[in-house]
């Protein structure tokens, strides 16, 4: 939806949708993005990621640190690269993607992105509701379970989604302020809880651990990248579209890599330390409860508050991005109404998984992890395109008719879409998908190869998508015509 006002003051409604931001309103700086990415990744649920590296991959702690830096901070550097497009084109990531895939061809990547966002938001919401139920159990001295207390469960889901709506609905300026100051509060609580968790570490086992082979580290890097930065890649330009034109590309990359990398590396490392000689955290079906049980009883309340806050900060950013992605699909409503649509979807999903379904985390997280393959293919093409494209036509980004310069052939840029589709097929060929080692949903024909066995299907996807698009010419031959068009 078009709007003449962006609502750039914190606490005021941002009325701009996916239309490019006018130059005069672009006054952002990289430190704002640093706090946004820091807040979105401060959740204590980063601990189970590190636990899997040590308990299941057998990494020594120094190896886990390296893997965390390369996988988590490195994948968020890619988010920073995509942020460069936001500074250039002044529009959300998936809206800019219309220039690459065509008005109709972009529907596929946009749908995948929206499903991924909604999926992780449902995970955040259900986990947060479980946190509040656990907090209730402590305060009232009796176990409170979701299905035995449906009214309370509905209330806790509603509390979380309404708090999310309050920030994501107001928009960009409010999000910047809330994410920054909430980071101080919940960051301090994380340090407090982390300090008590350190008391449970078996330090002698840490120093005596035998290093794992290089292949285990390679798998770990892929696991960390898929679980962190890759899932956020399509939100990069959503947050950077208000950045000032003078902001250097390197600073945008650094703001994402360091903003998300610092909390993730610390949390992943702590999770690894906790799991040396003890795989309880890595194998727990409910990591929130597993971590709580490691703490003194009196620390459980601040711990649960910390966990709730971290989930909320992550959800704020994700729902804001999902609203913009929904508009890119063509929904003709205001941005805040698109946010409400997404909120209703995750509210309904959380009710189903908490009150009706028999299981949730394993199958559902496996499903949304599948989406990492097409998202990675999109990232590969987007990054190659960014090397050549320095201009996005504001008018044509919003024009979904055949008159748009981004209509191409039948609304599809077949080089980009073809490279994306082929990379997805090849990526899944190297991939094994399942909730456990025994419950395999799908095993690609090349999953037993060295690349497949080492979990490198995502690298194949990235390289094939970007490589094919580059060989076919990509956007390099589109730039002169669009610049000429812009000067008319």
pLDDT band at 343 (very low <50, low <70, confident <90, very high): very high
**Is the pLDDT reported for residue 1 higher than 60?**
no
Positive/negative CA dihedral, 459, 465, 469, 474: negative
Structural element, H or E, at residue 291: helix 287-292
pLDDT tens-digit readout, 289-301: 778 888 887 888 8
Q: Is there a contact between 372 and 424 (Cβ–Cβ < 8 Å)?
A: no
Token pair of 467, please? 């490589």
Which residue, 354, 380, 372, is CA-closest to 469? 380
Residues whose CB falls within 8 Å of the CB of residue 219, separated by 6 or more in sequence, listed in order: 57, 454, 455
Q: Is there a contact between 152 and 140 (Cβ–Cβ < 8 Å)?
A: no
Q: What are the angstrom distances between the C-alpha of 25 and each of 47, 150, 394?
A: 39, 46, 15
pLDDT of residue 2: 37
pLDDT band at 476 (very low <50, low <70, confident <90, very high): low
CA angle centred on 249, ends 247 and 255, rounded to 5°: 85
Residues whose CB falls within 8 Å of the CB of residue 280, separated by 6 or more in sequence, listed in order: 290
Residues whose CB falls within 8 Å of the CB of residue 323, separated by 6 or more in sequence, listed in order: 168, 335, 336, 338, 339, 341, 342
pLDDT band at 100 (very low <50, low <70, confident <90, very high): very high
Q: Is there a contact between 457 and 444 (Cβ–Cβ < 8 Å)?
A: yes
Q: In DSSP terms, which residues pair with 434 in a beta bridge?
A: 440
Which residue, 467, 443, 469, is CA-closest to 455? 443
Which residue, 114, 125, 160, 115, is CA-closest to 346? 125
Query: How far, rounded to the nearest angstrom, does the alpha carbon of residue 188 sit from its chain's CA centroid?
Result: 23
Please report where in the chains the tokens 């009796």 appear, as a residue.
Answer: 142
Question: pLDDT exceeding 70 applies to what percent of the chain?
Answer: 91
pLDDT tens-digit readout, 367-378: 766 788 899 999
Over range 431-459, report the average pLDDT.
77
**Between β-strands 440-443 and 432-434, what pairing exists: parallel, antiparallel or unpaired?**
antiparallel
pLDDT of residue 442: 76
Token pair of 475, please? 């956007």
**Is the pLDDT reported for residue 257 higher than 60?**
yes
**28-31 — which CB contacts under 8 Å span 24+ positions?**
28/240, 28/242, 28/243, 28/244, 28/247, 29/243, 29/244, 29/247, 30/243, 30/247, 30/251, 30/252, 30/254, 30/255, 31/255
Provide the 8-state DSSP code for 447.
Answer: T
- Of 8 and 207, which is predicted with more confidence? 207
Which residue, 394, 354, 379, is CA-closest to 458? 379
pLDDT of residue 374: 93
Which residue, 360, 465, 352, is CA-closest to 108? 465
pLDDT band at 481 (very low <50, low <70, confident <90, very high): very low
pLDDT band at 202 (very low <50, low <70, confident <90, very high): confident
Q: In DSSP terms, which residues pair with 432 in a beta bridge?
A: 443
Which residue, 128, 197, 131, 73, is CA-closest to 347? 128
Residues whose CB falls within 8 Å of the CB of residue 28, separated by 6 or more in sequence, listed in order: 240, 242, 243, 244, 247
pLDDT of residue 360: 59
Classify residue 171 as left (phi > 0), alpha (psi -120 to 50) or beta. Answer: left
């Amino acid at each position: 939806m078009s709007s003449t006002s962006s609502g750039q003051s914190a606490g005021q409604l941002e009325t701009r949708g996916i239309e490019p931001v006018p130059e005069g309103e672009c006054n952002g700086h990289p430190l704002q993005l640093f706090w946004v990415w820091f807040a979105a990744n401060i959740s204590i649920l980063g601990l189970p990621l590190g636990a899997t590296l040590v308990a299941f991959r057998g990494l020594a702690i120094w190896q886990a640190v390296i893997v965390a830096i390369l996988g988590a901070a490195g994948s968020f550097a890619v988010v920073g690269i995509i942020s460069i497009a936001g500074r250039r084109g002044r529009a959300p990531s998936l809206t800019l993607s219309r220039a690459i895939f065509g008005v109709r061809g972009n529907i596929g990547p946009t749908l995948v992105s929206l499903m991924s966002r909604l999926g992780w938001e449902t995970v955040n919401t259900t986990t947060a509701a479980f946190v509040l139920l656990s907090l209730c159990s402590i305060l009232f001295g009796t176990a409170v379970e979701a299905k035995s207390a449906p009214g309370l469960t509905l209330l806790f889901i509603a509390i979380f989604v309404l708090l999310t709506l309050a920030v994501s609905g107001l928009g960009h300026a409010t999000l910047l302020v809330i994410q920054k100051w909430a980071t101080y509060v919940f960051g301090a609580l994380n340090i407090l809880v982390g300090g008590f968790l350190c008391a449970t570490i078996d330090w002698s086992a840490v120093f005596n651990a035998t290093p794992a082979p290089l292949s285990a580290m390679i798998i770990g890097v892929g696991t960390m990248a898929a679980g962190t930065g890759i899932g956020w890649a399509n939100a990069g330009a959503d947050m950077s579209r208000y950045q000032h034109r003078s902001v250097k590309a390197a600073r945008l990359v650094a703001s994402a890599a360091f903003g998300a990398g610092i909390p993730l590396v610390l949390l992943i490392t702590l999770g690894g330390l906790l799991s040396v000689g003890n795989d309880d955290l890595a194998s727990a079906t409910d990591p929130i409860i597993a971590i709580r049980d490691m703490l003194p009883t009196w620390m459980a309340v601040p711990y649960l508050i910390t966990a709730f806050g971290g989930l909320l900060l992550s959800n704020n950013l994700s729902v804001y991005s999902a609203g913009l992605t929904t508009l890119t699909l063509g929904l003709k409503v205001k941005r805040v109404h698109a946010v409400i649509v997404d909120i209703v979807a995750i509210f309904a999903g959380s009710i189903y998984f908490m009150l009706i379904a028999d299981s949730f985390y394993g199958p559902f997280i496996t499903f949304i992890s599948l989406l990492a393959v097409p998202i990675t293919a999109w990232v590969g093409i987007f990054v190659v395109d960014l090397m050549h494209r320095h201009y996005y036509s504001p008018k044509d980004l919003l024009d979904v008719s055949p008159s748009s310069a981004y209509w191409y052939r039948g609304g599809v840029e077949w080089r980009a879409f073809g490279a994306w589709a082929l990379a997805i097929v090849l990526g899944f060929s190297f991939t094994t998908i399942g909730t456990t080692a025994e419950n395999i949903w799908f095993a690609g024909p090349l999953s037993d190869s060295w690349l497949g066995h080492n979990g490198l299907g995502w690298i194949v996807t990235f390289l094939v998508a970007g490589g094919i698009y580059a060989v076919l010419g990509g956007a390099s031959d589109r730039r002169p015509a669009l610049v000429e068009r812009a000067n008319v």
